[in-house]
Amino acid sequence: MNLMGIIILGLIALTALFAFIDSLLFYFIGFITLVLALLSIRIIFEYQKGVLFTFGRYIKLLEPGINFIIPVAQSLSIVDLRLNVSDVPAQSPITKDNVSVRVDAVIYFRIMKKHAHYSIIKVERYRDAISQLAQTTMRNVIGEMTLDEVLSNRDQASKKIQAIVDKASDPWGIKVEAVELKHVELPDSMKTIMAKAAEAERIKRAAIIKASGEAQAAEVVSKAAGIISGVEGGLNLRTLQELDNIASDASNEVVFFVPLDTIRAVEGYNKEEKKK
């Protein structure tokens, strides 16, 4: 093979090599483009909001649906707008009258749509922040109330905790819907004291009711006695009536004093018999 032939074969080989390289480059570029296209697609559900950042700066909120971002240059944080239910760990505050109680609660809150980005920008781990805030507030509120107020006015305490936590969390874009005290546990010594106090109160009410009944009965008996004393022979009639009631049972043995009026009536009857 002459020199010309070698040159021609070399040119053909170089052309084939460049064509092969160009095809690999084309497929590589196509693959990278497909990956970037897939990475740029973001789906946001109806109960969510998207917080878009470009090179670390907040840009805007993205609505539910399909959204596109620029990979690497932009990042997206998803915020859940549904109602969050969080348990507030049990606390052991001391009431205003120096009684230690154990109280736990549950808090209901949600992120506001218009300020969803605040929960990302203004606070780190907003759920932990809300829980810690609720714990501190609950201790402070219970500490300002007496034990009787805590036991009888749970709703008032819950609303006060809700108002304080809601105001403090407003800069975070969070709305506190409700706070409910689940359980108030008393020390065993206090339970015993309260049980004794409740028993004494019941005995007091029973004594008052009994005394009131006796007073009413005495008033009625007094009226009856006045009526009987105002009628001639009324006492004898009442005595005979009671004897009739007692005599209904043959097993009863009755010893009673005979009124003088009854004896006098008999004496008069005997005298009339003798005259005849």
User: DSSP string spanning 142-211?
Assistant: HHTS-HHHHHH-HHHHHHHHHHHHHHHHGGGTEEEEEEEEEEEE--HHHHHHHHHHHHHHHHHHHHHHHH
The whole-number average pLDDT for the span 180-192 is 77
CATH for 84-186, options being 3.30.479.30, 3.50.50.60, 2.40.40.20, 3.40.50.720: 3.30.479.30
Q: pLDDT by residue (tens digit) across 44-71? A: 999 999 999 998 899 999 999 988 888 8
Tell me the CB-side half-sphere exposure of residue 31, using CA atoms within 13 A. 6
Q: pLDDT by residue (tens digit) across 64-94? A: 998 888 888 888 999 999 999 988 888 888 8
The pTM of this model reads 0.61
pLDDT class for 108, splitting at 50, 70, 90?
very high
Place of tokens 């907040």: 58
Q: pLDDT by residue (tens digit) across 14-42? A: 666 655 566 666 566 666 667 777 778 88
Residue 12 in this model has a pLDDT that exceeds 50: yes
- Give the residue range(s) of CATH 3.30.479.30 domains in the chain: 84-186
178: left (phi over 0), alpha (psi -120 to 50) or beta: beta
Specify the pLDDT at position 3. Answer: 43
